[in-house]
Amino acid sequence: MRFFYRKNEEISLFSVIYIIIISIQVVSILLYSLNLVSKEISIFVGITTSLASPILSLVVGTRLFTKHNPPKIVASFFTFITYLFTCISFAIIYIILNDNMYHPFSIPSSEKYFSLPIAIYFSIITITTTGYGDIYPTADLSRLVVGCEIFTGMIYQFSIFSLLTTFIESSKSNH
């Protein structure tokens, strides 16, 4: 199935699915912030879409590299935006957990509460699998979500190396 956005230029089905997943993620977060959906639904949607995003970005990115051979800056921007959006999505899930659970994370005593900047910091440290240990999950559900983010980070690392390999191979074959 092909979708056209300009004459003779197509968007693949994977790209459309990817855009739909990101849209679902954004709508879920907005509905939760307006108290129109429960935390369980928002967490479930957030986790499933955050896990699906890197897999689809790998497929979309690989197809983009092999068919169109875009400039490195375009590929880097695409990867960075997907990575950043996933970090922010997990940070929002952490805020939702913190707002609805008793003590889901242990934070440094110098911090008064688990704020969005702390959640984003924790999300970035977790997705890169660095894990400084200053913030850590203390409840089963928060451990599960953190595990999902670590798995997502590993998929991203695989994706980035795969895309770089594809790019290098396609540039070698063009010369």
Q: How many Cβ atoms sit within 10 Å of the Cβ of residue 88?
A: 18
Average pLDDT value for residue range 101-116: 88
The residue ranges of every structural domain in the chain are 2-168
CATH architecture of the region 2-168: Orthogonal Bundle (1.10)
What's the pLDDT score for residue 79? Answer: 72
- In this predicted structure, the answer to whether residue 9 has a pLDDT above a threshold of 70 is no
Structure pTM?
A: 0.71
pLDDT tens readout for residues 20-61: 777 777 777 778 777 788 777 877 877 777 667 666 666 666
Q: Are 86 and 127 in contact (CB under 8 A)?
A: yes
Chain centroid to CA 25: 10
Tokens in use for 13? 């089905």
Distances (CA, A) of 30 to 3, 25, 37, 38, 86: 28, 9, 9, 12, 16
